[in-house]
């Protein structure tokens, strides 16, 4: 796995990562986990992380189902992503996801499956989530890419360590005599915070 995460300043971040994964179904999970980790590290919110996760899952699954493995390294699929986040920009940022395989006899395209069909929706899902997507082919490989736009509202604000830790006061809905007050130091971004609210 190669790549880097560059905090450019206190408002901007960039990530560029390229992974070569085995041509096997477990690679879908591996690609998804690595991408989600990078997106959370630069402060992209859960909804857009979920969208990016679905896009990479569909693209890797399609490569495994419909294409040959890469010729070099043998029996692999290549996955790469580039992320740009700018908290000062009105555009917010973007995530570009690319999956490279050994190609197939047909070009990747959006299918129109029947209502009862069990497959054929992968690129339709990618098309509905991504602002842009496309395919690039050469003599030995096919790359399918998608760009997911990140709105400023989808980027978590930067907080100082002091602001990130808050006291939570929880009350029961009984009478004041039955009131329970808990003062906890919990990071707002932690799972415990959501459980308290």
Q: Write out pLDDT tens, residues 2-57.
A: 555 555 555 788 899 999 999 999 999 999 999 999 999 999 999 999 999 999 99
Residue 141 has pLDDT above 50, yes or no: yes
Residue 82 pLDDT: 96
Q: Cβ contacts of residue 107 below 8 Å, gap of 6+?
A: 135, 137, 142
The pLDDT assigned to 109 comes to: 58
**101-131 burial, b if ≥16 CB within 10 A, otherwise e?**
bbbeeeebeeeeeeeeeeeeebbebbeebbe
Distance CA 165, CA 148 (A): 31
Tokens of 90: 């009105």
Residue 110: its pLDDT value, please?
60
CATH annotation of 2-154: 3.30.565.10
**Would the pTM of this model clear 0.75, i.e. be above it?**
no
Cα–Cα distance between 170 and 94 in angstroms, integer? 38
Average pLDDT across the chain, whole number: 78
Structure-model confidence comparison of residues 103 and 191, the more confident one: 103
Give the 3-state secondary structure of residue 54: helix
Q: Which among 120, 140, 3 is positioned nearest to 69, based on CA atoms?
A: 140
**% of residues, the chain, pLDDT over 70:** 66
Q: What is the pLDDT of residues 61-115, one digit of tens each?
A: 999 999 999 999 999 999 999 999 998 888 899 999 999 999 987 766 565 655 5
Q: Where are the domains of the chain?
A: 2-154, 161-196
Q: What is the pLDDT of residues 142-165, one digit of tens each?
A: 999 999 999 999 998 765 433 444
CA dist., res. 13 & res. 150, Å (int): 13
Measured in residues, the chain has a length of: 197
At 111 the pLDDT is 56
On whether the CB atoms of residues 155 and 43 are closer than 8 A, the answer is yes
């Amino acid at each position: 796995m190669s790549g880097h995460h560059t905090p450019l300043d206190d408002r901007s971040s960039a990530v560029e990562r390229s992974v070569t994964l085995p041509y096997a179904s477990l690679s879908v999970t591996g690609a998804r986990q690595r991408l989600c980790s990078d997106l959370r590290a630069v402060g992209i919110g859960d909804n857009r992380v979920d969208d990016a996760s679905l896009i990479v899952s569909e693209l890797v699954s399609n490569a495994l189902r419909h294409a040959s493995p890469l010729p070099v390294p043998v029996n692999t699929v290549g996955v790469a992503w580039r992320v740009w986040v700018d908290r000062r920009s009105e555009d917010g940022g973007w995530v570009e996801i690319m999956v490279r395989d050994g190609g197939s006899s047909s070009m990747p395209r959006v299918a129109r499956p029947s209502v009862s069909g069990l497959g054929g929706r992968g690129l339709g899902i990618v098309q509905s989530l991504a602002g842009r997507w496309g395919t690039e082919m050469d003599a030995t490989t096919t790359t399918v890419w998608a760009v997911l736009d990140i709105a400023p509202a989808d980027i978590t604000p930067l907080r100082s360590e002091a602001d990130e830790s808050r006291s939570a006061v929880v009350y029961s809905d009984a009478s004041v005599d039955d009131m329970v007050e808990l003062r906890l130091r919990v990071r707002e971004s932690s799972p415990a915070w959501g459980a308290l609210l």
